[in-house]
A = this chain, B = another copy of it.
Amino acid sequence: MSAMIHPDEIQLRLARFPQLCRQARLKVTPQRSAVYAMLAATGSHPTPESIHLAVREELPNLSLATVYKILDQFAAHGLVHKIPNPNQAARYDARMDNHHHTVCGACGRIGDVLLEPLHRDLERLPALEGFQISRVDVVLRGLCAECAATDRRTAS
């Protein structure tokens, strides 16, 4: 379930970064570059905490508060995707296509699912009564294949 990312894809994202910042009127700082690079390179969905930990190896003075600020700005300007997580640290990723998430209730792992057709269907729902959709978040909760297997074995 955890996506492996093509080196080419990473390069593509990094190359686009300065331009994305300019569009968002954000200055290109070492901190922002490092955070973005870390996110662009991973297929996992790290928390601000773990992003901080990882980027700190390169920028030892980077503060957690700054990571939060940077992630918020990135999310607000559409550079990254924020996955709010009930009563736990939020998760972030740098994929910006329309994809959604599976959350395993046992191991907590977050996976990606493509649900492209969903958006088209949703936009013409009469039940929306004039609501203008700007983002659709779909979270599928349950058990990932592995935990489901363990569960079956452990079941009383």
Residues of A within 8 A of B (CB): 1, 82, 84-87, 90, 102, 104-105, 111, 113-115, 118, 122, 125, 127-145, 148
Roughly how many angstroms separate A27 CA and B145 CA in the complex, as a whole number? 35
The 7 closest A-B pairs by CB, nearest first: A130-B145, A84-B86, A134-B142, A135-B141, A133-B142, A137-B139, A132-B142
Question: Residue A113 contacts which of B1, B125, B138 (CB distance < 8 angstroms)?
Answer: B125
Instruction: Please judge, given known A-B contacts A82-B86, A84-B84, A86-B82, whether A135 and B130 are in contact too, CB under 8 Å.
Output: no
Write out the residue numbers on chain B whose beta carbons fall within 8 Å of the beta carbon of A113.
125, 127-128
Roughly how many angstroms separate A50 CA and B1 CA in the complex, as a whole number? 39
Roughly how many angstroms separate A145 CA and B131 CA in the complex, as a whole number? 5
When all copies of this chain in the complex are counted, the total is: 2
The answer to whether B148 touches A132, judged by C-beta atoms less than 8 angstroms apart, is yes
The answer to whether B135 touches A131, judged by C-beta atoms less than 8 angstroms apart, is no
Task: Write the chain B residue with the least CB distance to A134.
Answer: B142
Roughly how many angstroms separate A130 CA and B148 CA in the complex, as a whole number? 9
Write out the residue numbers on chain B whose beta carbons fall within 8 Å of the beta carbon of A86.
82, 84, 90
Instruction: Please judge, given known A-B contacts A134-B105, A136-B140, whether A129 and B84 are in contact too, CB under 8 Å.
Output: no
Roughly how many angstroms separate A133 CA and B111 CA in the complex, as a whole number? 12
The answer to whether B148 touches A140, judged by C-beta atoms less than 8 angstroms apart, is no
Task: Write the chain B residue with the least CB distance to A148.
Answer: B132
Task: Write the chain B residue with the least CB distance to A140.
Answer: B133
Instruction: Please judge, given known A-B contacts A134-B142, A135-B141, A137-B138, whether A127 and B114 are in contact too, CB under 8 Å.
Output: yes
